Amino acid sequence: MEPAVSEEVETDPGDADAGSAPASETASSSELNEPEEQAVSEEENDFEENQVEETVEEVQEAEPIQPVLGGTSSGMEPVRIEIPAIDVDAVVDGYGLNEEGQMAVPDEGETVAWFNRGAKPGAQGNSVLAGHVDDYEGPAVFYDLKELEPGDSIHLYDEDGEQMTFIVQSMESYPYDDAPVDQVFGGTASRNLNLITCTGEFDRNVGTHRERLVVYTELEQ
């Protein structure tokens, strides 16, 4: 599974594949429907490359909008994620764009990808993590992401063991090729962490799930 919110954004999720062009309208939240046969898609994050690169450039050129809170102006480079509500404790690796201009993601289903061409977790902006919902062996790291609720906590750790906690605000699902790229990857004064994975039925004609699930979270104050 590759999270792809039509993620040819400035990147690509799945086990962390995710991405795709901005949408004028968003789809309503939906639950994951397991495919009859477990299958892995290598493009589950399909945000369009030109849109991703433009969004990344905007983030890099943006000036700080307000004073840094808690000394997190530069954010952290995450190496581990914990989501107690769904029993997730996984490795996080940094990924950029693949050859198709999508957010690259790990081949294995138990590793989470951080889009390292965007904001770092804890810094102003939208930081993005992506993970597979399933793979050839069955459920993957973000299989239960759809079970999260507003108020649930997500903990990130850097290589020194420093922790940051983000609180779930909302959840939305979008067609894999029609997601709001700027809303997920773009600049903002808030310190957000957005998690992406695949959801919906698996479409064998295109080799990916029909929708992308995005969980929106904010840095705990």
CATH number, domain containing residue 123: 2.40.260.10
Measured CA distances, 130 to 98, 120, 141, 161, 194 (Å): 14, 14, 10, 21, 8
Instruction: Quote the domain boundaries for residue 196.
Output: 49-219
Quick check: is 155 catalytic?
A: no
pLDDT tens for 92-142 read 999 999 888 889 989 999 999 999 999 999 999 999 999 999 988 899 999
Q: Is residue 3 part of a domain?
A: no
Q: Is residue 94 part of a domain?
A: yes
Task: Indicate yes or no: pTM above 0.85.
Answer: no
Q: Is residue 82 part of a domain?
A: yes
What total number of domains does the chain contain? 1
Q: Region 24-37: what's the mean pLDDT?
A: 43
Q: Region 55-65: what's the mean pLDDT?
A: 40
Which of the residues 198, 213, 214, 219 is marked catalytic?
Answer: 198
CB crowding 21-48: b at 16 or more within 10 Å, else e: bbbeeeeeebebeebeebebbbbbbbbb
Which tokens sit at 6? 């039509």
Distant-in-sequence, close-in-space partners of 25: CB < 8 Å, separation ≥ 6: none
Q: Is residue 64 part of a domain?
A: yes
Quick check: is 127 catalytic?
A: no
Q: Region 197-214: what's the mean pLDDT?
A: 83
Q: Taking a C-beta distance cutoff of 8 angstroms, is the pair 125, 10 a contact?
A: no
d(CA 211, CA 156): 26
Which of the residues 22, 105, 118, 132 is marked catalytic?
Answer: 132
When comparing pLDDT for 47 and 108, which is higher? Answer: 108
Average pLDDT along the chain: 77
